[in-house]
Structure 1
Amino acid sequence: MTGTNDVVERIKLAPDAGLVKSLGANHTLESAIADLVDNSIDADASRVSIRLLTRNDRLNQVEVLDNGKGMDAAAANAAMTIGHQRDYSDGDLGHFGMGLKAASFGHSDVLTVWSTSYGATSVGRRIRRADFSKDFTCEVLASDVAAERAADRQSILGSLNGTSIVWTDVRNAYRGRNEGEARGWLSSRTEALRSHLGVTFHRLLAAKRLHIDVLIDELGEAITGPGVPLLPIDPFGYVTSGHPGYPKNLIATAGEARVKLTCHIWPAKSDVTGFRIGSKTGEQFQGFYIYRNDRLLQIGGWSDTATPTPARQLARVVLEDSGAVGPFVTMNPEKSGLKFEPVFHDAINKAEATDGTTFMAFLQDAESIYTDANKRKRQRKPVIRPDKGIAPAVRKRIGSELSFIDGEAVDVKWKRLPSGEFIDVDHPAKTLWLNSRYRSLFAPDGGSLNDAPVLKALLYLLTHHIFEGQHLGSRDKDEILLWRSVLGAAATAEQQMRGE
């Protein structure tokens, strides 16, 4: 048993500089840049410009510029200090005092910071991963060069005050010899970055409290203006709920604490941005969405409270009670996910809405919407596949509602037909012809292969069964005559009403 008077001395154990080598090991490029944007937001920035600069099509340098309040010399020294924790307010996104260093060293070997704050001399600091991992050495940079960098930032963001984070000696980028593959790698990473930032900061972007742009250009030739603006991606941006009883609030209780879980069910067969994020399907984004000060910390995932299944892909839950972060959920330094504490697992399993709906009942409601939608599809007869002339998005949606007959497909195309006729059925060629005399009525800006999508979708739904038989029967021929008569008259009347 340890005694109460066995302490003979108290010593301070400084961290070993070697820990720098493992900093940022779990950061993706997207999460690392998001961490830098967090710092910009905490500095009251309204604009952030992310610049991916290349050399010979390879990512060579990354810059994140903001128009925030900037830093003086003391603040810059603190920002470069490992584990330094300033006085965080409840509204700050920073948390551990590791973000800048971890994000940067996870993807580069040299971190340079240029900053200007009101009434202070512009400052510059640089830390090199190799040196920093030995003795935490930081280089102090010339103030006149820092002033030049401030002028560069002003030409891009319109503000002298602010901070520029620069990564050089970038690691984890495409290093191969094939320039085409290098461009493909950069394109996919840029798409992933735009998607991640668009959903992570979607509330701030939508409210116009934050503007982010992304520029890709050759190093040394980058334009001084901003890049392409980032659009918000709302993971709850459906028009109508998939279930009439949702969204619904469930309350999880743990001791004296009460945490609200807002449960959503997306409409079945959704395939829009928000349900789908970037190149990933909506099935991969079921689960919890945890916000802290309107910043998404977790983008889906059930955190071991439920098993992800295709039937649960419509279910999403919002948790934005900042009081839950800490006691019930633990945030990792990369802010890329949270660990639910056992007491919170138990609280979720017992959570209820005022109408008695439990968390498990919510999951079952989401599953039933998904299952019913797929059951309706299975009950419908297979149809001939739509092909040329029908827009890809329309073909995809038809495929989500109907199964296709193996083999042939039907095209919908334009050609010149006699005046007064609107359609012609070429059964052997599996083509529905539309009269190009009337094309300008439905494609006024000039025709293209996939023009007039509403018209073509309606005609496909009307006529597809004609093309599914081996031969045209007498009933089929009578239907074609009916369509020709009525649609021909309608097209002529449309033309006359528009004065064409």
Structure 2
Amino acid sequence: MLKPLATVDHMLLRPEGKGTIRALSRIGYELPAAIADIIDNSIDAQATRVEITFLRNDREITSVTIADDGRGMDMATLRMGMQFAGRTDHDVGDLGTYGMGLKSASFSQAKTMTVISRQNGNVVASRWSVEAIDNDWRCEVLDPVQAGVTFNDLCLRGKTPASGTLVIWERLDRLVVSQHADALDEFLGTAMPRLEAHLGLIFHRFLESGALSISTVVRHERRPLALPRPVRPHNPFLYPNSGAPGWPKALSCEFPGLGSLTLDAHIWPAGSAADGFLLGSRKGIEFQGFYFFRNNRLIQAGGWNGAVKGNQDPELMLARVAIELPPAGIDVNVQKSALQVTASQAQALLAASDSEIDLEDYLEAARAAYRASRRTERSSGSPPAVPGPGIAMRVRRAARKWIAGNREAEEIGFAWGELDDGQVFDLDLSEMNIVLNRKFRYEILDGSPASSADAPLIKILLFQLYKESFARQRSSGKLRDHVNLTNSLLFEIIKIRLKDRDE
């Protein structure tokens, strides 16, 4: 044991504003998780309605607002809410955890965050900006009369609530899109369904019970009328029949630090196309694993937390386990999207049992159900692959007719994503997607405008080249070598076009 060292003095070290906010902006929030964290505050404030609005012009999203009809705040409560990691007196049933969600979620997306709240007819408002934080943490208090006008204009469609809170994000540094004509529409066309799917999953119990309604709306600054879209619940355990006889079963474990936990172990029916299984994905393979709930809010959607090797085992894609957590006493990450599980806790989950069977038996039953479904598929013949989303509909219809005729077919989609610098494309076998590198989109299109069905020649050629690999759904060294070689050849062309563009 180390010998204790003597203290000779103390230093008062306040956090440096610019560095703190830079760290918060890189904390790992994606847009859906950031908005979900704000909605947690709305639920804690007993809101029954939440509306998320994206305000835009022709080229950019100018602001995002999250409005609710909760109980609102007075100045003292607002002050506490605006303080970073301030004192938090949460009720047992609250979703808030660290007193950081409002700030960390907001600054992960924007450089300015304004909060306007009405309670008992009184309006209070405050604003943080990165500049104010860097200026000795001086949080702005805003004019209540002007703030009340903004509240009336932006806080929920239809009748303005008697009480509620409006959060406004401005200077959105994480939502900047490129300047080509269709870039913003293309981004919103992808981002809004992802947001709605995420919120529908995380808050599905609240939505199903009718305790909460959530809607999203995109509002153009020149066309203020816009229809909100309701967020539908996506229940990851809502299936008509079990995928294996005798399941689900309730298993128990002694979880270090929490005591007894119940694991409701489910096996989905194979081949399901239900929203609750796919959850916005093409196959649903990444949604296997543990589903941790706290106060009816889904904290983690899938993943095995070290209890099982890997999180995307094809043979476990039908396995999902629901676990109810106590209101307090468990560590989650700041985004409330995953549990921080220790090695001993992972071992405890693996040892869960009902005295007759344990988690290992459950996993083997899930694997057996998957293997049985694959044998059935092979005996009936695997469906042929056809081009899917990302190709013009006229071409897709023709390809389906020529390739599949009247038979069932499986679509391979196309997407633009973030890949390594030397990669022109990659194969996402689990999601049945061919991914093209967004950084090289201009060069691949050779100056043509981007659209949802652009680059048809390269997409169709890659489809023809690798469609059999998707049918096998298994990567191999030989396949990876072939993909790398094709990437190297295509990248030589990209380098020529990059050089020509620079000149």
Task: Give the distance between the partners of 1:97 and 1:382, measured in 2 at CA.
Answer: 52
Matched, 1:326 2:332: no
Q: 1:8 to 1:48 in 2, by over 3 A?
A: same
Q: Describe how 1:292-303 pairs up with structure 2 within 5 A.
A: 292-303=294-305
Task: Give the distance between the partners of 1:269 and 1:155, measured in 2 at CA.
Answer: 40
The answer for the alignment partner of 2:24 in structure 1 is: 23
The answer for the alignment partner of 2:278 in structure 1 is: 276
Is contact 2:59–2:184 with CA below 8 Å preserved after alignment?
yes
The answer for the alignment partner of 2:235 in structure 1 is: 234
Q: 1:135 to 1:43 in 2, by over 3 A?
A: same
Q: 1:157 to 1:19 in 2, by over 3 A?
A: farther
Following superposition, the deviation at residue 155 of structure 1 comes to 5.2
Task: Give the distance between the partners of 1:116 and 1:190, measured in 2 at CA.
Answer: 28
Per-residue displacement from partner, 1:366-421 (whole Å, max 9, x unpaired)?
0101100110222235799999xxxxxxxxxxxxxxxx999562499xxxxxxxxx
Q: 1:21 to 1:261 in 2, by over 3 A?
A: same
The answer for the alignment partner of 1:371 in structure 2 is: 371
Task: Give the distance between the partners of 2:382 and 2:284, measured in 1 at CA.
Answer: 25
Matched, 1:309 2:313: yes
Following superposition, the deviation at residue 326 of structure 1 comes to 3.4
Is contact 1:271–1:282 with CA below 8 Å preserved after alignment?
no
The letter of the residue matching 1:374 is R
Per-residue displacement from partner, 1:191-215 (whole Å, max 9, x unpaired)?
1100000000000000000010100
The answer for the alignment partner of 2:71 in structure 1 is: 69
Per-residue displacement from partner, 1:426-472 (whole Å, max 9, x unpaired)?
xxxxxxxxxxxxxxxxxxxxxxxxxxxxxxxxxxxxxxxxxxxxxxx
Following superposition, the deviation at residue 129 of structure 1 comes to 1.4
The answer for the alignment partner of 1:480 in structure 2 is: none
The letter of the residue matching 1:236 is F
Following superposition, the deviation at residue 247 of structure 1 comes to 1.1
The answer for the alignment partner of 2:127 in structure 1 is: 126
Task: Give the distance between the partners of 1:405 and 1:373, measured in 2 at CA.
Answer: 27
Is contact 1:48–1:212 with CA below 8 Å preserved after alignment?
yes
The answer for the alignment partner of 1:136 in structure 2 is: 137
SS in 2 for 1:340: coil
The letter of the residue matching 1:362 is Y
Is contact 2:51–2:156 with CA below 8 Å preserved after alignment?
no
Per-residue displacement from partner, 1:57-110 (whole Å, max 9, x unpaired)?
422210000001111111112111111132011111111111111111111111
Residue range with higher mean Cα deviation, 16-25 or 362-371: 16-25
Per-residue displacement from partner, 1:218-241 (whole Å, max 9, x unpaired)?
135333x87111110000110111
Following superposition, the deviation at residue 304 of structure 1 comes to 1.6
Q: 1:384 to 1:179 in 2, by over 3 A?
A: closer
Is contact 1:386–1:411 with CA below 8 Å preserved after alignment?
no
Answer with 1 or 2: which has the greater Rg.
1
Matched, 1:109 2:105: no
Task: Give the distance between the partners of 2:381 and 2:344, measured in 1 at CA.
Answer: 50
Following superposition, the deviation at residue 2 of structure 1 comes to 5.1
Following superposition, the deviation at residue 259 of structure 1 comes to 1.2
Q: 1:67 to 1:367 in 2, by over 3 A?
A: same
Following superposition, the deviation at residue 346 of structure 1 comes to 1.6
Is contact 2:177–2:187 with CA below 8 Å preserved after alignment?
no
Task: Give the distance between the partners of 1:157 and 1:345, measured in 2 at CA.
Answer: 49
SS in 1 for 2:360: helix
Task: Give the distance between the partners of 2:274 and 2:113, measured in 1 at CA.
Answer: 38
Task: Give the distance between the partners of 1:291 and 1:366, measured in 2 at CA.
Answer: 22
The answer for the alignment partner of 2:475 in structure 1 is: none
Using structure 1 for the length normalisation, give the TM-score. Answer: 0.72
Is contact 1:261–1:319 with CA below 8 Å preserved after alignment?
yes
The answer for the alignment partner of 1:50 in structure 2 is: 52
Is contact 1:46–1:210 with CA below 8 Å preserved after alignment?
yes
Per-residue displacement from partner, 1:291-315 (whole Å, max 9, x unpaired)?
1111111111111211331110000
Q: Over the residues paired in the alignment, what is the CA RMSD in angstroms?
A: 2.8
Deviating runs (4+, > 4 A) in structure 1? Answer: 1-4, 6-13, 381-387, 404-408
The letter of the residue matching 1:82 is F
Residue range with higher mean Cα deviation, 172-181 or 183-192: 172-181
Is contact 1:34–1:197 with CA below 8 Å preserved after alignment?
yes
Task: Give the distance between the partners of 1:14 and 1:212, measured in 2 at CA.
Answer: 39
Following superposition, the deviation at residue 182 of structure 1 comes to 2.0
Task: Give the distance between the partners of 1:62 and 1:336, measured in 2 at CA.
Answer: 22
The letter of the residue matching 1:145 is Q
The letter of the residue matching 1:203 is R
Is contact 2:177–2:183 with CA below 8 Å preserved after alignment?
no
Following superposition, the deviation at residue 13 of structure 1 comes to 4.4
Q: 1:133 to 1:63 in 2, by over 3 A?
A: same
5+ unaligned residues in a row in structure 2: which ranges? 388-399, 409-503
Task: Give the distance between the partners of 1:219 and 1:133, measured in 2 at CA.
Answer: 31
Q: 1:137 to 1:213 in 2, by over 3 A?
A: same
The answer for the alignment partner of 1:247 in structure 2 is: 248
Alignment length, in residue pairs? 389
Is contact 2:72–2:119 with CA below 8 Å preserved after alignment?
yes
Following superposition, the deviation at residue 9 of structure 1 comes to 6.2
The letter of the residue matching 1:311 is E
Q: 1:383 to 1:409 in 2, by over 3 A?
A: same
Q: 1:89 to 1:77 in 2, by over 3 A?
A: same
Is contact 1:174–1:185 with CA below 8 Å preserved after alignment?
no
SS in 1 for 2:252: strand
Matched, 1:358 2:361: no
Is contact 2:72–2:117 with CA below 8 Å preserved after alignment?
yes
Task: Give the distance between the partners of 2:364 and 2:202, measured in 1 at CA.
Answer: 28
The letter of the residue matching 1:29 is L
5+ unaligned residues in a row in structure 1: which ranges? 388-403, 413-500
Matched, 1:409 2:405: yes
The letter of the residue matching 2:68 is D
Task: Give the distance between the partners of 1:405 and 1:381, measured in 2 at CA.
Answer: 18
